[in-house]
Chain A
Amino acid sequence: MAESHMLPGVPGQTPGMRGLVSDWASDQMAFKNVPWGKAMMWIFLLSDTFIFSCFLISYMTVRMSTVEPWPSPSEVFALHLFGRDIPLILIAIMTFILITSSGTMAMAVKFGYEKNRTATFWLLCVTALFGATFVGMQAFEWTKLIVEEGVRPWGNPMGAAQFGATFFMITGFHGTHVSIGVIFLLIIAFKVRRGDLDDERPGFLTGRKGRYEIVETLGLYWHFVDLVWVFIFAFFYLW
């Protein structure tokens, strides 16, 4: 096969375009050495990218086409702290919490491959804790918006009616992703601590052997949730 083109430093991998062509032309597995679960997670995330894109593009469309003024997110999401209104502060804190959880997740993946069970378990738990904190703050934000500001999916006192519809749809779908992520983080953390991955015990759902790859696969999902938040933060809250 393409052994002659291989870099000495990266075994089994041909660099650049040549690698792309030889991979796709080899009429067998396209993603060599990429674990099955990881490739499938990437493809799932690709489809999820399209779903979130559709939401954000719908939001763009209704915001551009409304003749009523769009409520200022900077003011709507301000909190009254230390005797003054700080714009968007809750959302900023949520952003930092989610980034922190991404950092701990990345380290959990690293320690997982080093077969350091204790570190992986605790890092996964910390990640889940940050994720749950994020969802909690989102619940607080929704409550404040619904009860105090009177925002509804069909209207609000501040301006364009579409504000509520897009807000609840987009952040709700994202929050659901975070919640599902927290559940899976706890499941995998439990499996790590029990030693399922070291002993290659079959999983309860797929029956596939336990491997530390699943920590990386779960990490992909979790980083994606953070990635989506980057776009929501930019387009919905800052714009």
Chain B
Amino acid sequence: MSSQAVHQEGQQHPIAIYLWIWGLLFVLSAMSYMVDYLEFQGYLRWSLIIIFMLLKAGLIVAVFMHMMWERMAIICAILIPPGVILILIALMAWEAEYTFLTRLLFFEGPTIVTE
């Protein structure tokens, strides 16, 4: 608590950086909207969506949420645990594939009809 005085002012950064990031987020959002508007398909579409999404998320966390100026201890405590989500994604994708194949095998004949 003795060092409280050092950080009493909290996070202070020039306003220009917020405006820049704001502008960048606008551009990135416009670009991800264009992916849909220009009707890109397949791997091009999916990779562009993921790239723009990660860039936007990174900018928000790093600058707007001040993560880049926080100490290493809090960065690791907050940003590492969500990594385990990747394992859940892999497991559930595996499970979904299996369900899908089972449904193809047992629900329907060669043609897939609704109802």
**CB within 8 Å of B: which residues of A?**
11-13, 15-17, 19-20, 23-24, 30-35, 39, 42-43, 45-46, 49-50, 53-54, 57-58, 60-62, 64-68, 74, 87-88, 92, 95-96, 99-100, 102-103, 105-107, 109-110, 113-114, 159, 212-213, 216, 219-220, 223-224, 226-227, 230-231, 233-234, 237-239
How distant is B44 from chain A, measured CB to nearest CB, in Å?
13
Q: Can you name the residue of chain B whose Cβ is closest to the Cβ of A30?
A: B73
Where chain B touches its partner, the secondary structure class is helix
Cα A58 to Cα B82 with chains together (Å): 16
Chain B interfacial residues counted at CB < 8 A: 63
Residues of B within 8 A of A17 (CB): 72
| Interfacial chain B residues near A15, Cβ < 8 Å | 72
Check A34–B37 contact: CB distance below 8 A.
Answer: no
Measured CA separation A23–B9 after assembly (Å): 22
Q: Is the CB of B18 within 8 A of A106?
A: yes
Please name all residues of chain A whose beta carbon is closer than 8 Å to the beta carbon of B63 when the two chains form the complex.
106
Q: What is the bound-complex CA distance between A19 and B82, given in angstroms? A: 22
* Complex alpha-carbon distance, A57 and B87, angstroms: 11
B34 to chain A, nearest CB (A): 10
- 25 A-B pairs, CB-CB below 8 angstroms? A12-B7, A23-B73, A30-B73, A31-B77, A34-B71, A34-B74, A42-B74, A49-B82, A58-B92, A65-B96, A65-B100, A66-B100, A87-B36, A88-B36, A88-B37, A95-B33, A107-B15, A113-B10, A219-B64, A223-B64, A227-B57, A227-B61, A230-B56, A234-B49, A238-B49
- Judging by beta carbons under 8 Å apart, are B92 and A57 in contact? yes
CB contacts (< 8 Å) of A24 on chain B: these are: 73
Q: Residues of A contacting B21 with CB < 8 Å? A: 103, 106
Shortest C-beta distance, B61 to chain A (Å), equals 7
CB atoms of A220 and B10 under 8 A apart: no
Query: Which residues of the other chain, B, contact A159 by a CB distance below 8 angstroms?
Result: 114
Partner of A230, one of B33, B60, B89: B60
**Contact between B71 and A92 (Cβ–Cβ < 8 Å)?**
no
**Please, which residues of chain B bring their CB within 8 A of the CB of A114?**
12
Q: Which residues of B contact A20 (CB under 8 A)?
A: 71-73, 76
Chain A residues with Cβ below 8 Å from B29 are 92, 95-96, 99
Residues in chain B near residue A226, CB distance under 8 A: 60, 64
* Nearest-neighbor residue (CB-CB) of B11 within chain A: A216
A86 to B99 CA separation, bound complex (whole angstroms)? 35
Structural contact, B74 and A31, CB atoms closer than 8 A = yes
Q: Chain A residues near B99: list those with CB within 8 A.
A: 61, 65
Question: Which residues of B have CB within 8 Å of A65?
Answer: 95-97, 99-100, 103
Cβ-neighbour of B71 out of A11, A31, A64, A102 (below 8 A)? A31
Of residues 56 through 81 on chain B, the ones whose CB sits less than 8 Å from some CB of chain A are 56-57, 60-61, 63-66, 70-74, 76-78, 81
